[in-house]
Structure 1
Amino acid sequence: MINQVYRLVSPRKFEITYKDRTVNKGNRVVVRPTHLSICAADQRYYTGTRGEEALAQKLPMALIHEGVGEVVYDPKGEFKPGTKVVMVPNSPVETDEIIAENYLRSSRFRSSGFDGFMQDYVFLKRDRFVVLPEDMNLHVAAFTELITIAMHAISRFEEKAHGRRQTFGVWGDGNLGYITALLLKKKFKGCKVIVAGKTQYKLDNFSFVDEVYNINDIPESIGFDHAFECVGGKGSQYAINQIIDHIIPEGSISILGVSEYPVELNTRMILEKGITVIGSSRSGQVDFKNTVDFLADNQDAVDYLERLIGSINEVNTIQDINDAFEKDLTTSWGKTVLEWKI
């Protein structure tokens, strides 16, 4: 069959590419994307701010690594047409008994080196999607991949941090900070979650946490057992150092925010307090399975996540794709969701 792929060929310019695909390979299931979500990484490609060298290496490329779809054809007949699934963007080519799939240097990641989900059909290996519950809110499910990043970070924290987990600090008032704080409140019953950010109208959305503070007005007496940094960029330097100041000795700091440049950290106090620093990046199939199970069991969490939907955009043409990306650039809160009908 001929598959249409909608590729970014240069900043702000998409073109259709046609690829001939075989549908009868038993290890591949054909999925039609239905709901996609724009990520900040997609925007860096779209606007050309990713860097000339990276753009030259990776374009043309279909964007989007957050999305759900429905099964169109399964050559083995295991999945019925119409089955709703969330698609896993990480594509490992090997396994390791120690290193997780998302940390293997050989793994490929959609919309970062090879085509993402902006296609008529996506041909997925059987371990590269997870079936969704029938009643799942598909607009929320569209950004499941972002939720899996927080889920993965918390899983790593559970493996590596000490067992006193009464209070948590979360730095960052954006989408990832919101999701991480929500998952912590739901997974650690009775825990106290403190959120620090810099934008009041964003902090106002964190109604489910125990305390919120502007980063310029944090009392000296504030302390917590462990912390999660969800700021990224140059701001991650100030966030992590502020966390170091307030964290209780021998706590852990999970770093989730991505920075394009090296940042300076107060290593003296990391040593003096015996702090464990845990890095986390992306996620794997097991994190998608855990996230779907979590959402299925916690409808109230899905209701809170619905607040993250910044806009819903129906996509029927390439111009609609451009319009959605431009709109996303001006959206100050939440996720831009695409109803993929092109």
Structure 2
Amino acid sequence: MINQVYRLVSPRQFEIAYKERSLSNHVIVRPTHLSICAADQRYYSGKRNKATLEKKLPMALIHEGIGKVVHDPKGILKVGTRVVMIPNTPTEKDEIIGENYLRSSKFRSSGYDGFMQDYVFLRHDRLVPLFDELDSNIASFIELMTISMHAISRFEAKAHTRRQTIGVWGDGNLGFITTLFLKYLYPNTKVIVFGKNDYKLDHFSFANEVYNIDTIPEHVTIDHAFECVGGLGSQSAINQIIDLIKPEGTILPLGVSEYPVELNTRMILEKGLTMIGSSRSGYDDFVKTVNFLKNNLEVLDYLQTLIASVNSIKCIQDITDSFEMDLTTSWGKTVINWNI
């Protein structure tokens, strides 16, 4: 069959490519709801360096999305089943290294075509069925939720057990989701949010305490911290964490920066701190996240507030318009209803 793939060929310019695909053993999924990620936006707006753009383009964007099964050669998934699509595609297994850390793994919309296609061909282990109560617009950014879930799983496995207070730095989408998940997974723990935008911090009603990073009371300390700032701002965020965290605490940096940042290594050593890297996610994280949402339906009401806009895509110009709109969005996620 001939599949249409909607690729970014240069910043702000999309074109249709036609790829012949055999049915083979893959499940064929029709994307229905997608969500724009900051990484997609950096490609679209040309904010990656020239060498990276030349290496990775042309490429279909979007790695957050759900769809409906249109064909399963093994008959495991019924036609019409809603599924979340997993962008990470491992090519090998390792008993020590997770699938999302294997250098051989492929990741959609980062060197490989993402979900902006008429149909996506996926292995069975790259799909997780969804439950009926889950709104499709919310489900479109489950992949982002799995980033938080994966980091929390690493925290659970590696951090010491004194968890009276956890700090989350960052008042954006990732900080919101991480804080929300921490509050439900550790209901007896005080979760404090640190950000710089008061109008964004107003959305964190479920947090125990919320502070502007410029007006933190002197008495505030934390046992562990998650950094969800990213960019050059991650430098000041992590250094502020180092100042406020108690000895032998754990820091989980989640924010991606295009450039190296300087850290106060002297205090990392003096306090005996542990830093745990965390990037992307794998199949198990998607299963955990879907089950978590199913068992905590009230969380969906909070996640609904993250939807900034929902845009119907019927032609290439609609794709461009949605990315341009996303550039001007100060809060929340831009969701795409894929009707092209």
Q: TM-score, normalised on structure 2? A: 0.99
| Cα drift, residue 195 of structure 1 | 0.4
Deviation at 1:52, TM superposition (A): 0.7
Q: Where does structure 1 lack aligned partners over 5 or more consecutive residues?
A: none
1:192 to 190, 193, 205: 190
2:16 alignment partner AA = I
For 1:4, give the aligned amino acid. Answer: Q
What is the distance in 1 between the residues matched to 2:302 and 2:296? Answer: 10
1:77: Cα distance to partner? 1.3
- Measure, in 1, the Cα distance between the counterparts of 2:245 and 2:187: 21
Query: What does residue 317 of structure 1 align with?
Result: 315
Distance in 1 between residues matched to 2:182 and 2:17, nearest whole Å: 43
Q: Per the alignment, in what secondary structure is the counterpart of residue 166 of structure 2?
A: strand
Map of 1:16 onto structure 2: 16
The equivalent of 2:171 in structure 1 is 173
User: How many pairs align?
Assistant: 340
Overall identity of the aligned pairs, in %: 69
**CA offsets per residue over residues 67-112 of structure 1, 9 Å max, x none?**
0000001111111110000000000101111000000011100000
Once the two structures are superposed, the pairs formed by residues 156-167 of structure 1 within 5 Å of their partners are 156-167=154-165
Match of 1:226 among 211, 224, 227: 224
Tell me, in whole angstroms, the C-alpha distance in 2 between the residues paired with 1:224 and 1:37.
Answer: 33
Equivalent in the alignment of 1:7? 7
**Residue of structure 1 equivalent to 2:85:** 87
Letter in 2 for 1:13: Q
CA distance in structure 2 between the partners assigned to 1:11 and 1:268 by the alignment: 42
Q: Distance in 2 between matches of 1:103 and 1:310?
A: 31
Partner of 1:132: 130
* Secondary structure of the corresponding residue to residue 258 of structure 2: coil
Deviation string for 1:40-91 (max 9, x for gaps)?
1101110111111011011110000000000001111111110000000000
Deviation of residue 201 (structure 1)?
A: 0.3
Aligned to 2:210: 212
* Residues 131-158 of structure 1: CA deviation (Å, up to 9, x unaligned): 0002211111100000000000000001
Deviations 1:293-339 (A, max 9, x none): 00111111111011100100000000000000000000000000000
Task: Write the distance in 1 (CA, Å) between the matches of 2:75 and 2:152.
Answer: 36
8 A Cα contact 1:3 1:21, kept in partner: yes
Secondary structure of the corresponding residue to residue 305 of structure 2: helix
Which amino acid letter does the alignment assign opposite residue 177 of structure 1? Answer: G
Q: Secondary structure at the match of 1:64?
A: coil
Measured after TM superposition, the shift of residue 165 of structure 1 is 1.2
Helix, strand or coil at the partner of 1:239: helix
Runs (4+) of structure 1 moved beyond 6 Å?
A: none
Partner amino acid, structure 2, of 1:184:
L
What amino acid is the match of 1:248?
A: K
Q: Is 1:101 paired with 2:99?
A: yes
